[in-house]
Amino acid sequence: MTDTTLAVIGCGNAKADEAVPARDLYTSNYFGLKREYGEHFADRLVILSAEHGLVWGTRTIEPYDTTLDNRDREALVDEVAWNLRSPFTDHSHADEVLLLAGRDYASIYADAIKQENEIAFDPLDMDVVDVFAEAECGGIGEQMGWLRRAIDKDLRQPDGGATDQQTGLGRFAGRTAPVATDGGSRE
């Protein structure tokens, strides 16, 4: 492994009006916070798109209207499984994935990994952190609040719901200054 963290971000409905890099196509505040979190805590961004499967964040794509409701689920799982080894969205060198997607997209992503690993000579061996599930966030508003606090406090993952506090991960100790997790300030 190369100690690489990928952020896989679920796409959104609100889009730019012209072809732009995938990371810039989705214009909602919700997507913006997921992107900011991914840029802060991961090495690379990959978008999980209803239209394209997995898309490298820098790939230029046109706006589209496809939603999960318009896609055959099995076909999308197949596409995402194929994308897992694509040169541009390759997951084989990642040791961790921060999944920032709703339940439906998270389920498709998990099924694609399972499918790929069932047929692969060299199964993918990475930790997938379903950020919103682990944070026990409810709807989009709660997710957005959690993301904002995590970014502002430079904290990456919840403590499994034991308290309302967020805790950092040791893997990031070398990247950022120590952070108080007891409500104290960073000073």
Is residue 161 assigned to a domain?
yes
CA 117/CA 183 separation, integer angstroms: 42
Q: Are strands 157-158 and 166-167 parallel, antiparallel or unpaired?
A: antiparallel
Q: What is the DSSP string of 19-38?
A: -EEHHHHB-SHHHHHHHHHH
Does pLDDT of 170 surpass 70?
A: no
Structural domain includes residue 178:
no
Compute the average pLDDT of residues 122-142. Answer: 89
How many Å apart are CA 186 and CA 178, to the nearest integer? 8
**13-32 pLDDT, tens per residue?**
999 999 999 999 999 999 99
Domain that residue 29 falls in: 4-172
For the whole model, what pTM was predicted?
Answer: 0.82
In a domain, 104, yes or no: yes
Examine residue 179 and state whether it is found in any structural domain, yes or no. no
Give the chain's domain count.
1
